[in-house]
Amino acid sequence: MRTYLVTGGAGFIGSNYIHYMFRKYGDQIRIINVDKLTYAGNLENLTEVEKLPNYTFVKADICDKEAISGIFAENDIDRVVHFAAESHVDRSIKNPEVFVQTNVLGTAVMLNAARAAWEKEDGTYPEGKKFLHVSTDEVYGSLPEGEGYFYETTPYSPHSPYSSSKAGSDMLVKAYMDTYHFPANITNCSNNYGPYQFPEKLIPLIINNALNGKKLPVYGDGKNVRDWLYVEDHAKAIDMVQEQGRLFETYNVGGHNEKQNIQIVEIIIETLQEMLPDSDPRKAHVSKDLITYVEDRKGHDRRYAIAPDKIKAEIGWEPETMFKDGIKKTIRWYFEHEDWMKNVTSGDYQKYYETMYTV
């Protein structure tokens, strides 16, 4: 049975990845989920798997050398999938040090622990051991409107404390691959959306605010462009890179779905109006009148666009979920999980760990 150590598995993308892996492999794999349970880590994301005999949750900080080394010492870890990161640009502008601590130092701790556990005396590594570092397209900076794409060879040019800290962590992984021949891959992905996303991010924020008749804040002129990918497609890409990716390579993961932020907001409003029955009183206040333009974010990148040519050519991955389908699936999930959204927005979800795991 192959053992996966997943960091940040209680977060949005991490929890979706864990669900995907159990759906695909069932009892053929074991997953150890390490999460600090910050505001964005929510064990309610994993209620469907928490009682599986081949799933283990460990509450720990990736910056805690002793805790992380202990997990490697007590378990024969085959694969590391490293999601754990502070990831919200606005929060990074207000408190950059936290992002450097978690994203750079935490990644160094993970790399050191994996290397200490895996490296043989002759400097080689056992067959099948692999570390996958999950990163972002934001490390590449900003593209002119309508011109060009991010490739794996695009020079890094991060503009926010968040993207700079992720660039730093990417560089650490690259250095370990070059210096120690450490068995790793890096994936740089575009914006994700889907179930379990914390409602500080654009799509769940707009869904939640629109349903509650609250203002829909849009930065600047709303014309900043992002490439959107349904989160399950990302989970599949990560698994395929683990299985088929060439060691030491970086793979860009993108959705072929560029949209301006204002377009996203308008699509959500139109989809909510379409999906809500006439009998639902919330339908009356879902309107474009709620759109409110706010002062632009500091250092706001104008456009991101990923070219996933390499991952398609080498591995055969490509996005499967069209945005019009993905946004309907996402909204339907939020309709069916209103208690989850209430718990997240109220902070009650943080009590879940105490209820489930405190003796």
Q: Which alpha helices (DSSP H) does the chain contain, by range?
A: 12-25, 65-74, 89-94, 96-99, 106-118, 161-180, 202-211, 231-244, 261-275, 309-315, 323-336, 338-346, 351-357
Residue 113 covered by a domain: yes
Residue 285 covered by a domain: yes
Q: What is the 3-state secondary structure (H, E, C) of 198-265?
A: CCCCHHHHHHHHHHCCCCEEEECCCCCEEEEEEHHHHHHHHHHHHHHCCCCCEEEECCCCEEEHHHHH
Please report, rounded to a whole number, the percentage of residues in the chain having pLDDT higher than 90: 86
Q: Identify any residues that bridge with 33 across adjacent strands, giving them in sequence order.
A: 6, 57
**Alpha carbons 340 and 266: distance in angstroms, whole number:** 24
Q: Which helix (H) or strand (E) holds 3?
A: strand 2-7
Residue 179 covered by a domain: yes
CATH of the domain at 45: 3.40.50.720
Whether 359 has a pLDDT exceeding 60, the answer reads no
Total domains, the chain? 1
Three-class SS state of 31: strand
Tell me if 109 sits within 8 A of 82, measured CB to CB. Answer: no
Digit-coded pLDDT (tens) for 305-333: 999 999 999 999 999 999 999 999 999 99
Residue positions annotated with a catalytic role: 137-138, 162
Digit-coded pLDDT (tens) for 47-97: 999 999 999 999 999 999 999 999 999 999 999 999 999 987 888 999 999
Three-class SS state of 47: coil
Residue 324 covered by a domain: yes
Residue 139 covered by a domain: yes
The pair phi, psi for residue 254, each rounded to 5°, is: -135, 165
Residue 218 covered by a domain: yes
CA atoms within 13 A on the CB side of 159: 15
Residue 359 covered by a domain: no
Digit-coded pLDDT (tens) for 127-181: 999 999 999 999 999 998 878 999 999 999 999 999 999 999 999 999 999 999 9
Angle at 197 between CA 193 and CA 201, to 5 degrees: 75
Count the Cβ atoms, other than its own, within 10 Å of residue 181. 14
Q: What is the pTM of this model?
A: 0.94
Question: Which one-letter DSSP state was computed for residue 123?
Answer: S
Residue 166 covered by a domain: yes
Strand 258-260 versus strand 225-230 pairing type:
antiparallel
- Distance of CA 59 to CAs 13, 283, 333, 355, Å? 18, 40, 27, 14
Instruction: Quote the domain boundaries for residue 241.
Output: 2-354
